[in-house]
Amino acid sequence: MAEHASEIVADAVVARIRDLAHAHGASIHADATLSELIAALKLGDQVPLAAFAVAADLLFHLLAADQRPSMESKP
């Protein structure tokens, strides 16, 4: 049975996130319950508090990584 286009896109996004995390030394924590919760959200749904916590943590790490000096800028 063929996957829906949205599932294929989601798989590609997840794979890209994993590749980028690995390339930058970031760890990934798998949480099946949270994944199911986020996957069940539909456009217009209220975002659960747990999902906000994950998004905040992600943004924190992205901002922290952005503040680190780049390897290219070192002499």
- Sign, CA dihedral 41-44-46-50, equals positive
- What does the pLDDT read at residue 1? 44
Please give the single-letter amino acid code of residue 15.
A
Whether the Cβ atoms of residue 36 and residue 26 lie closer than 8 Å to each other: no
Q: What is the pLDDT along the chain (75 residues), one digit of tens a residue?
A: 446 777 777 778 778 888 888 887 777 778 888 778 777 878 888 878 877 887 788 778 778 877 866 555 555
- What does the pLDDT read at residue 23? 83
Block residue for tokens 């800028």 = 73
- The Cα–Cα gap between 12 and 38 comes to 16
- What does the pLDDT read at residue 17? 81
- What does the pLDDT read at residue 37? 79
